[in-house]
């Protein structure tokens, strides 16, 4: 139940329990008799979290605060002269059709990428753990390999794969009549945006697959044995045993894919289409970069950055609520 101490927590000495100070009775008295233990524990926690927090504050919080500050100014980014203009950048952003198109593109990428990443990573994890696949370890390594590649390498490979003249992907699909052999998807305003999604999925599936594999392998074998004895089918096993127990990892995957997509789609779009043709594949990241480094309007660019932050927070909060789950302990 939510809020109740887990079996592990109940076995812990009162001095070190999370709910130690709220306890009543003799155990609480003994806990309160040695407040130094809590201080020791607090210091211990602080010592190990402080460096991370400092790095987080310097490289994440501070830039966000600075960005918010700059968004109220008109600033070319090439001099110290900044002119305070209040909310003008946000008013301009509200009336900017390209910004809204970019936001829509970001949401499309995030949701499509989430669907494919979740299905592929979960599917491969299930196959590699619940089915007897020869060369299991080999496939795990091969599927994880793209995670280690640089995005530039991945995008370069993808551009060759979908090249209108020599692309293998276009040739195979044209063999099955799905596409014309000289299709230039990255240059077609109807397909450019969606063509940036496959490499983004490909380079992240392995990462989530490993997380799911680890979670599946930590499920006690007794549960599967009991299910087998009860005559549960593979599908039922997956739907009724494995997936519910993977809810926390699925939740993590959903949030992380969305966050990394909202922030990371910039790289794929920049390298593959540069927001074109005719801004059809523009995303907020590339639009922010265009305004900052090309148009020299850093104030407006940081306003776009704030929009990215707000959209990411809203989307991840909504998805967190949808995929919210209880933790199970064995």
Q: Which residues bind another protein (CB under 8 A)?
A: 51, 55, 74, 76-81, 85, 88, 92, 159, 162-165, 182-189, 273-274, 276-280, 290, 293-297, 299-300
Pairing of strands 73-75, 82-84: antiparallel
Our CB check for another protein shows the closer of 104 and 164 to be 164
Mind giving me the DSSP string for 69-133?
A: HHTTEEE-SSSS-EEE-TTHHHHHHHT-HHHHHHHHHHHHHHHHHHHHHHHHHHHHHHHHHHS--
Query: Under the phi-then-psi rule, with left for phi > 0, alpha for psi from -120 to 50, and beta for the rest, what region is 203?
Result: alpha
Closest CA to 110 of 270, 254, 279: 254
10 or 43, CB closer to another protein?
A: 43
CB of 298 to another protein, least distance (A): 10
State in angstroms the smallest separation of the CB of 260 from another protein. 21
Least Cβ distance, residue 85 to another protein (angstroms): 8
Give whichever of 248 and 277 is closer to another protein, judged by the CB atom: 277
Query: Which of 276, 90, 76 has its CA nearest to residue 184?
Result: 276
Q: Smallest gap, in angstroms, from Cβ of residue 190 to another protein?
A: 9
Nearer to another protein, 36 or 165 (CB): 165
Tokens at residue 263, please?
């922030």
- Closest CB 189 distance from another protein, rounded Å: 5
Q: Which is nearer to another protein, 152 or 313 (CB)?
A: 152
H-helix segments, 162-280: 168-175, 192-195, 197-217, 221-229, 234-236, 243-245, 247-272
């Amino acid at each position: 139940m939510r809020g109740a101490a887990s079996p592990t927590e109940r076995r812990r000495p009162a001095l070190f329990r999370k709910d130690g100070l709220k306890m009543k009775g003799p155990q609480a008295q003994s806990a309160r008799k040695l407040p130094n233990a809590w201080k020791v524990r607090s210091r211990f926690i602080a010592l190990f979290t402080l460096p991370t927090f400092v790095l987080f504050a310097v490289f994440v919080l501070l830039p966000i605060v600075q960005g918010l500050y700059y968004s109220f100014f008109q600033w070319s980014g090439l001099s110290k002269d900044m002119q305070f203009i209040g909310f003008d950048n946000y008013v301009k952003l509200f009336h900017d059709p390209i910004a809204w198109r970019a936001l829509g593109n970001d949401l499309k990428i995030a949701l499509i990428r989430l669907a494919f990443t979740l299905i592929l990573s979960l599917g491969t994890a299930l196959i590699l753990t619940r089915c007897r696949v020869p060369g299991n370890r080999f496939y795990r390594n091969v599927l994880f390999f793209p995670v280690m590649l640089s995005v530039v390498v991945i995008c370069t490979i993808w551009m060759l794969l979908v090249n209108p003249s020599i692309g293998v992907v276009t040739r195979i699909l044209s063999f099955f009549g799905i596409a014309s052999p000289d299709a230039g998807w990255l240059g077609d305003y109807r397909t450019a945006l969606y063509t940036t999604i496959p490499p983004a999925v490909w380079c992240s599936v392995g990462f989530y697959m490993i997380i799911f594999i680890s979670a599946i392998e930590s499920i006690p074998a007794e549960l599967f044995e009991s299910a087998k004895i009860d005559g549960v089918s593979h599908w039922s096993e997956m739907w009724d045993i494995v997936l519910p127990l993977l809810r926390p990892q699925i939740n993590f995957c959903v949030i992380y894919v969305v966050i990394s997509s909202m922030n990371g789609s910039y790289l794929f779009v920049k390298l593959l289409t540069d927001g074109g043709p005719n801004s059809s594949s523009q995303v907020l990241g590339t639009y922010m970069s265009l305004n900052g480094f090309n148009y020299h309007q850093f104030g407006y660019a940081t306003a776009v950055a704030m929009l990215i932050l707000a959209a990411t927070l809203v989307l991840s909060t909504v998805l967190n609520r949808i995929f919210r789950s209880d933790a199970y302990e064995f």
